[in-house]
Structure 1
Amino acid sequence: MKTFLAALLVMLTFQPALAAVQLTPIYANEASNWPLETFASNGLFRQIARYQQGHPQAIVLNGGEYTLAQLARQLDTRALSRTASGWTLHYPLIIGPGARLILSASTLFIEGRHGGCLINRGKLLIDNSSLSSNGDQNSGFIHGWGGSTTRIKNSVLADLGRADYRANGVSVARHRYQGAGAPAQLFIHDSRFSNLHRGVDAEAGSRVSIVNLSISASREQGVVLYNSPAHIERLQVNDSKGHGLRAGGNRTISIADSQLQNNGGSGLLLEDHTGEIHISQVASLNNQEYGIQIKSQRGQQITLMDTLNLNGNGSDGLRLDGSMHITLNSADISHNQRYAISIQAEDGRQITGNMAELHLHLNRLAALHTGGEGSLQLKRVSLRHRSNQGKYLAGNLAGKEADLLPTLLQTQEVVVPFTESLATIPLTSPL
């Protein structure tokens, strides 16, 4: 008898309890159902009601660790079904705090037309798996709330997300009901995303780490970060309809060894961003707008860039707007349709910078264009002409191009001030 009780205790200890998996009614009431209410106005409840033909329900994991096979044993096939090609999720699935869902060597289709989606408040691990959805405005999505951890490794995600708030593909954020608790964490390694509405969308109260991720053919933007610290290595974003990567807010962003190419907007846009910026070994090529644009009132905040390749973009290679001090070391900014570097300081503010080891070759209008107030310290700059205005330098330079060019062309250090102040002629002294 003691042996039986001991064995039963072991089973209860290591097997998830049935009560930990429930079909739970959901209501379009934020106070009682905030993890899903965010999506109610986006048509999710209508999709659920049409499929379920009754009061909407969601699969809720209240605790324990599950695979899809373990979940299927406790759910009707109308909620989670399996065919020869893999699993299909028909209901919203909420991973509660303290619960863990593991997708390992799995194929999962998230049926967005039925209301399928993954809402993470606990832990979600996707490893060596393939996830897909409808690829249109009905698509399912993955969203992680504050306190959650989402890990995606060695996996392929396709056709997720739609043009609805926080339903864009793979997203993380802290809900306002969660206060200042733990962030939503997103870790992505060695994976490929294609045809998501947004590849990655991170809002305030989240933290992102990306190592070796390819994002292609996003229906809107490749990566969007707002008030979310991010460490990014070996990111490739190609053929997005919008920007390759867009960031704002006041958190630190580090991007290294990455490529942003053939995007419909800019390769990299930092707009209203006041946190530290570290950009190293980044190529931004053949984008329809800017290679890199920084459009912010940054003041003296750290802005470090090195080893850039900004070639073939539809506007300027590097565009700076607002106020900031930047350090740029080693960049090839060539063959862009306007200027290699274009600067427009905000009224009453300045843009300054130290730039060295620059190759500014064959840009259509000029190598450098300035506006507003500021100055640049340039060192070891290589220039090649292809200006239809007959200038290497353009804008409101305080000095003459003819005086600056000899020093620049000898790759010596030169300070280039620019100003909107007009020179005045002294008044004649009265007799």
Structure 2
Amino acid sequence: MAMRPLSLCCLALLLCAGSAQATRQHLPEQQSFSVINPSEHQTQLQQLQQVAQALQVQVKERPRPAGRASVSLQPMFSSQSGSWPFEPFVNNGLFRAIAGYQAHHPQAVVIRGGSITLAQLQQALNDPRILKPYKDGYLLSYPLMIGSDAGLVVEGTSLYLYSYSGTALINQGWLGLNQSRLESVAGDKPGSTDRAWRPFVVAWAGSHTQVIGSTLERLGYNAHLSRGLSTALSAQQAANSAPATLIVRDSQFNALSSAVELQHTQAQISGSRFEHSQQYGIDVRDSQVNLLDNQVRGIDNNSGIRLRGQTVARVERNLILGAHKAAIEVSDQRGPLLLRANLIGDSRGNGIQLRNLSATAQAPLLIEDNLIGNSQGSAVDGSEVSGIALINNRIGNTPEYAISLRNAAPLTGPLILSGNTLGKAGKAVVRVEGMQQVVLGGNHFEGKPLLQNLLIGDLLSIQGPLLEATQRQGHVVRVSQ
């Protein structure tokens, strides 16, 4: 995206006549700005970057449980002791789908005490109504629960989940897909639920799931914990339970409701493609995640990546295109975040959307080295954000604002805008309202100075002196409200 700095002759039209210095007496009451020592500014940026660099979630592959697992059929209850892994799905259509296939009280395949492959599982069950050879792998027609001491090994094969019969994978232990395929099969029978229903995977706190070189396709429907591959802490599990762990590497997720939905989880997701999800590509709450080198494309209803709650996240070098809402959405967030070197485009809403965030020096929100363009809303749109740093981003081609930050009541800040190339915005380049401290320096503006303001909101009344100090004189300044 070619960006040209604002020429000095055009810039001069915006500057206050004779304003050679940024002095307090030229500014409205309750506003002042001062020049920051360059070394002080660099130290501040380096401290932010050091905190962000430390956001490394280390998730290691966990060995599968030793020994050969036992296999049994167990009744599924909705409100008895030990039934909690099934309870969230009682009203979500699972039991009703099962009832259309099983002529008796709903049963699930349960594996315990070791690991088992699909071939071994088929041999142990010896019932084609439950598991049978199909195409290049196996067709599963019963729900399957992996006990906390057990593992299911899916390696070099395909596992098809029959939609009509209410199939789901429920992991309390270890689930590994390696060079494999996991896909729903609708069959030719009419569904037995009153809405669209598709098989899903859920992994409870304490479990481990790894998806390596594999494909997941047409899984999940829009209901709690049933949207695709989900992890969660059950209300029946202790609050201090070990988090679920998830590794996704070099894999593809196609046409899921939400491809990956994480809660109370440590996850490493890298080198993977998430395409044509209905709700979200990756949806994260109260978790620690690394999202590196992924592609998220074509999200039908919501955002490409959503981050919420007590989440620590490093989102780096991802390509996010064609989200219906925002490419990256951060809401009600209370942990450190690094959004770096992502390529964001063609969002039908905002490029990056920020709502109700509490950032501190110890838990910063750092948006750095991203390319954001061609959104139908603003490139970066924030409200109720206490502090944010945007460094060395290239932002443009938006009908709204390159950067818009609005707080209903003034928040402490700072908002740091440093080294960005900002331009081709339909309204104004930067809008700031309700931030008590703003730091500006080293930014390049491409705008239409005769037709629009570059800085509006709280900065409009001091636009001339600010541009004189930062663009013509090359200073870094701090604006205080």
**What is the match of residue 290 of structure 2?**
231
Q: Does residue 271 of structure 2 align to residue 209 of structure 1?
A: no
CA displacement at 1:286 relative to structure 2? 1.2
Match of 1:251 among 289, 311, 328: 311
**What is the match of residue 375 of structure 2?**
313
Map 1:227-376; keep pairs closer than 5 Å. Answer: 227-241=286-300, 242-300=302-360, 301-376=363-438
CA displacement at 1:33 relative to structure 2? 0.7
Match of 1:61 among 102, 108, 111: 111
**What is the match of residue 165 of structure 2?**
114
**What is the match of residue 72 of structure 1?**
122
Contact 1:137 1:161 (8 Å CA) reproduced: no
Contact 1:399 1:417 (8 Å CA) reproduced: no
Letter in 2 for 1:232: L
- Cα displacement string for residues 22-77 of structure 1 (whole angstroms, at most 9, x for unaligned residues): 01111121543111111111010111111011110000001221111000011111
CA displacement at 1:206 relative to structure 2? 1.7
Q: Does residue 204 of structure 2 align to residue 145 of structure 1?
A: yes
Q: Distance in 1 between matches of 2:458 and 2:141?
A: 61
The unaligned stretches of length 5 or more in structure 2 are 1-65, 187-194
CA displacement at 1:389 relative to structure 2? 4.9
- When the two chains are superposed, the root-mean-square deviation of aligned CA atoms in Å is 1.9
Q: Distance in 2 between matches of 1:372 and 1:348?
A: 4
Q: Distance in 1 between matches of 2:451 and 2:400?
A: 11
Contact 2:336 2:359 (8 Å CA) reproduced: no
Contact 1:263 1:287 (8 Å CA) reproduced: yes
Q: Tell me: CA distance 1:397–1:355, structure 2 relative to 1, closer, same or farther (3 Å).
A: closer
TM-score of the pair, normalised by structure 1 = 0.89
- Cα displacement string for residues 334-384 of structure 1 (whole angstroms, at most 9, x for unaligned residues): 111200010112414234222221111211111101112323212211111
Letter in 2 for 1:102: V
SS of equivalent residue, structure 1 residue 73: helix
TM-score of the pair, normalised by structure 2 = 0.80
Contact 1:364 1:386 (8 Å CA) reproduced: no
Q: Distance in 2 between matches of 1:60 and 1:86?
A: 20
- Cα displacement string for residues 134-168 of structure 1 (whole angstroms, at most 9, x for unaligned residues): 58932101110011100000001110110111011
Larger mean Cα displacement after TM superposition, 246-255 or 192-201: 246-255
**What is the match of residue 173 of structure 1?**
232
CA displacement at 1:415 relative to structure 2? 3.0
Contact 1:380 1:411 (8 Å CA) reproduced: no
**What is the match of residue 74 of structure 2?**
24
CA displacement at 1:251 relative to structure 2? 2.5
CA displacement at 1:411 relative to structure 2? 7.3
**What is the match of residue 83 of structure 1?**
134
Contact 1:365 1:387 (8 Å CA) reproduced: no
SS of equivalent residue, structure 1 residue 219: coil
Letter in 2 for 1:330: N
Contact 1:398 1:418 (8 Å CA) reproduced: no
SS of equivalent residue, structure 1 residue 304: strand
Larger mean Cα displacement after TM superposition, 213-222 or 379-388: 379-388
**What is the match of residue 175 of structure 2?**
124
Letter in 1 for 2:306: R
Letter in 2 for 1:261: L
Q: Distance in 2 between matches of 1:353 and 1:15?
A: 56
Q: Does residue 149 of structure 2 align to residue 98 of structure 1?
A: yes
**What is the match of residue 279 of structure 2?**
220
Task: Report which of the two has the higher share of strand.
Answer: 1
Q: Distance in 1 between matches of 2:384 and 2:402?
A: 18
Q: Does residue 477 of structure 2 align to residue 412 of structure 1?
A: no
Q: Tell me: CA distance 1:223–1:318, structure 2 relative to 1, closer, same or farther (3 Å).
A: same
CA displacement at 1:15 relative to structure 2? 6.3
Letter in 1 for 2:387: H
**Residue identity (%):** 27
- Cα displacement string for residues 96-120 of structure 1 (whole angstroms, at most 9, x for unaligned residues): 0111111001111111221111100
CA displacement at 1:395 relative to structure 2? 1.5
- Cα displacement string for residues 80-134 of structure 1 (whole angstroms, at most 9, x for unaligned residues): 1112343111000000011111100111111122111110001000000111115
Q: State the aligned residue count.
A: 403
